[in-house]
Every structure is written in structure tokens, then in C-alpha cells.
Amino acid sequence: MAPFATIYTYPNNIRVQRAQAVAKLNGLEVLEDNDFQLGNPSDPKWASILAKFPYGKVPALSTADGSLNLTEGQAIVRFLAESGPKAEQLLGRSVTDRALIEQWACFAEQELMANLIPPMLMIHRPDLIPYEAKGYDQFASRFERAVKNVESALTRGNGKFLVGEEVTVADIMVAGPLILGSKLLLDAEMKKGAPSVEGYLRGLLEIQELKEAFGELVTVQERIRGKTE
């Protein structure tokens, strides 16, 4: 069977891992292409990518038949979810479930990811965002508030999935930043206020397709901080 699509990205992009989790659950082969210099106009391959995606943002997906060029991680996940036999499961079997799944997808991007990326860049790419303790702590506090909201939903529900009795896009979208955050911010102290979250993630990673996409859960005892000059 020919690949369904190709995603252009940088290595180890959590937004691509979420897309791959959905693709694997739906039986879709999605190739990854990171063999180019992102943002370098002198790289011929990057120039050819820009011809498809003029804004120059990754991840970016092209279908194998050339009918669609798509950016924005949330839109890519939704497209892959709708493109296979598990669309109803992944996107919701009722109008209520579909609304809740969309709510969690938005929450994952606007609250979890938005407050995780700046401190992550402070640690790993201080050339982009210099480390500053006060700003770091502000983002960490907002991330913690978002994690506690996930905890609240798990304790009100079945503890295994955010919507219904099976894995959906809601879980995959939320799991991405939580798995990434576990390597940096989601430390033992933060988990005191969200004791169910780690077990929730480990349960999701028992699903083979999600484990293949995300890998093993890596955790920290104390959040990683940068060095102040």
C-alpha cells in the first residue's frame, strides 16, 4: 500500500508524534521528512517545500495524491483522524462527544502547549528565548493549572480517557504536551496536585500505536531549570 501522506518537520516534533499516533490507529502510513534545513532559503529542498507551504511553518502535510497541502498540527491531526476507519471513535460518536473532543484539542494547544513551549525553549534554545526565572515560573504555574484541569476531568470520569470509554483525539492531543512536559516541568511536586496524570499517560502508552508514536514516558523528579547569567 502506498503511503497516505508525508509530513515535513524537524526531528522529534511532538505535534508530529500526535499526528503519527492518529495515523497509526487509523492504519495510515505517513512518512516523515526532516532532511532539509528549516528556514534556509539556499537549501533547494526547503525552497521546494516553501512552494507548497509559503508561510514556511512545520509540521506541514502533503497527501500522496497531491490533493492537499496542510499546516497547523491540530488541523493535521483532525484530517488524519477523519481519513481512516476509526474516524468515528477518534472524533466522537455523538454531537456531545465531538464537542468535548474539540474542546480538549483546543485546550491542549492553547493552555498546555502554549505554556510549555516557552520554558522548554528557555532551557534548550536560550538563543531564541533567554532563560529568565520569573518568566519561567509564570509559565510553569500556568502549565500546572492546566495539568490540574486534566486531573479534575480524570477524577470526574473513568480515569482512563477524557471522553467516553475509548481513546480519542482528545487523549492524543492532551497526551502530547503532557508527555513532553514530563521531561521538563511535570515533576514530583507538580504531580502532588495531579496524582492521576502519570497513570493516565502510562495507560495510554499501553496502546501499541501510541507507544510507537510517542515512545517511553520519561519523567523528572525536579523540573529542569536554566542558568542565570
3-state secondary structure of 99: helix
What distance lies between CA 180 and its chain's CA centroid?
A: 8
The pLDDT assigned to 228 comes to 65
Question: Is residue 229 in some structural domain?
Answer: no
Q: Is the dihedral of CA 162, 167, 170, 173 positive or negative?
A: positive
Q: How many CB atoms lie within 10 A of CB 60?
A: 22
Give me the residues of the chain with pLDDT under 70, please.
Answer: 1, 228-229
The pLDDT assigned to 8 comes to 97
CATH number for the domain that contains residue 105: 1.20.1050.10
Shared-domain flag, residues 33 and 127: no
Whether 21 and 210 have beta carbons less than 8 Å apart is answered as yes
What is the bridge-based pairing of β-strands 5-8 and 60-63? Answer: antiparallel
The pLDDT assigned to 92 comes to 97
Of 88, 104, 128, which residue constitutes the final position of a domain?
Answer: 88
The pLDDT assigned to 227 comes to 76
The pLDDT assigned to 199 comes to 97
Of 88, 103, 133, which residue constitutes the final position of a domain?
Answer: 88
Question: Is residue 223 in some structural domain?
Answer: no
Helix ranges (H only) for the chain are 14-25, 44-52, 73-82, 87-91, 95-107, 114-124, 133-156, 169-181, 188-191, 197-204, 208-214
Where in the sequence is the domain holding 51, given as residue range(s)? Answer: 5-88
Shared-domain flag, residues 84 and 97: no
pLDDT tens across 84-127, in order? Answer: 999 999 999 999 999 999 999 999 999 999 999 999 999 999 99
The pLDDT assigned to 229 comes to 54
Shared-domain flag, residues 117 and 198: yes
CATH number for the domain that contains residue 18: 3.40.30.10
Residue identified by cell 508527555 is 179
